Chain A
């Protein structure tokens, strides 16, 4: 991949590996140092196109193509104002017309076509639809809030589950260690024979393992149910009914050949057909060709539709 180069100071990412090119509203990029230099005062002209820019408008580039970056930026700004949804329009046609208008505006601003006219149109629109814009903005914020809540909830649950799992792991290891230690102690200090000691410990450890597994199952089950307050403000749907339908059972394909039956490949030899076939040369046998194939094919073709009568056509 080519090294990145800042268009002003010509530093390449080879010279400075952590070089970052920040992009502004006009679509042109500058490296971090140049941004500092050019925008010592908070605003200044872009070195490439001369458009007046502000320092805080610089962003890290998201897209590889700078045209796209610029266009997306413009789109975000415009959609803040042009935020009507389908339900605001009486018919689909009008909604589509509205969407087309939005696209035209975006295109004009991105390509510098009729900029003044477009801006005038935008201002007029904003004035006319002030209330509707505010309403839509509020609605969007609400929806976003609910989604954010849900996301937080899910993250919290995941963390909780992870922690639980870790706890359980720890407990199990501690338990095991204790077991081992107690076995060793008994073997050293008690007078009972070794096999008895081991047998009694095996019985005990079997019981505790059973208890632990039931515990872990219980905790897992609780974590799966979503907690109550995440569901407020959201409609919950019932699971869709699953249609069972008839279970598939294989029916073999019955094909009528209107002729006598042809023996199988394996029977060719036993019926004596192969003795009447031409001898195969080496290159036939080498490629896997067997006289039974030719034989069967000839017979299949001979018997197919042999008994087809004119009235059956």
Chain B
């Protein structure tokens, strides 16, 4: 259960500042370790702000990847697997710098591990066959060599409590204890997309999943011009003191604001940072020449499904949040 989980114990922070401090510390650690070789080669290391851009950009790519992931004759991707993958990804990059592990490859490793943990089990072969053909070999090698490392960085804390089940729980509770309110099932769809959008922000590190789930429901109700405040106040929090109720309502508002305040970077913002990253990544700093490394193109490589017909996705950059999620 969440209240006795490692997620609450180790991965719930008091405020945004604590998380930022951690990220900066990771960046500093890398910088101090590689200051000398960076100066030798005359390259500049990334700042925390730039790292953030890279992390957020590839986070978006992760979500897109999962939404398009549909292996033939296999069950559809459960949303909890997506949440798990994003959680691993974010936890990793609060402890490591992007210069150490490029997110471009690492996010696939996170996704693969998350699928295994969430019992959406695919063999490595099946997994890499969903990628573009020229990536299959390098990705499978990368995953094999980095999976244990990822596990170690995550401290083997693999269970992730996502907000989807709490949200279902609230809908169920509403149907049972407040039947006079309109049928909550209509809120499900918008709430789901709210929860997927919340992955871009740090809400999961700041609020327990039950509060996020409730916020999703609350927001969704507002969108459809209904109010579930009645349910929340009179039924759910019936036995609590008024200051608790105020705090909780305040929390819900904060969650909503936080989720919508995050803007994910697009390709244009990424390009200069990516170029800088090429030079200061750990491979570039530790190897004299890079003739054996493939040239990395950030956009084109991620066409899922293999055929070039999907090029339009990377050109247009539609909002990933408008994807149909069932």
Contacts and interface: CB of A to CB of B under 8 A. Distances in A.
B161 A301 contact: yes
Interface string A281-313: 000000000000001011111111111111101
Interface in B178-218: 206, 208-211, 213-214
Given A256-B3, A301-B161, A310 B14 contact: yes
B319 interface: no
A241 interface: no
Interface string B147-178: 00000000000000100011111101101110
Contact of A313 (B12, B172, B214, B236): B12
Contacts of B15: 310
A297 B244 CA distance: 24
B3 A301 contact: no
Contacts of B214: 302, 306
Contact of B213 (A295, A297, A302, A308): A302
B168 to A, nearest CB: 5
A45 interface: no
Contacts of A301: 1-2, 161, 165-166, 169, 209-210
Nearest to B161: A301
A272 B176 contact: yes
Interface of A is mostly: loop
A303 B13 contact: no
B28 interface: no
Nearest to B8: A305
Contacts of B175: 276
A304 B172 contact: no
Interface residues of A, number: 29
Contacts of B166: 298, 301-302, 304
Residue of A255, A302, A303 with most chain B CB atoms under a 10 A cut-off: A302
B244 A307 contact: yes
Interface in A167-189: none
B2 A273 contact: no
Given A276-B175, A298-B165, A311-B14, 10 more contacts: A258-B3, A277-B172, A298-B166, A300-B1, A302-B167, A305-B3, A307-B237, A309-B251, A310-B206, A313-B13
For the complex of A and B, list the 6 residue pairs with the smallest distance between their C-beta atoms, beginning with the closest: A302-B169, A298-B169, A305-B208, A302-B166, A304-B2, A276-B175
Interface of B: 1-4, 8, 12-15, 161, 165-170, 172-173, 175-177, 206, 208-211, 213-214, 236-237, 239-240, 244, 247-248, 251
Interface of A: 255-260, 271-273, 275-277, 295, 297-311, 313
26 contacts: A256-B3, A257-B1, A259-B210, A260-B237, A277-B172, A297-B165, A299-B173, A301-B209, A302-B166, A302-B210, A302-B213, A304-B2, A304-B208, A304-B210, A305-B2, A305-B3, A305-B208, A305-B210, A305-B211, A306-B210, A307-B237, A307-B244, A308-B208, A308-B211, A310-B15, A311-B14
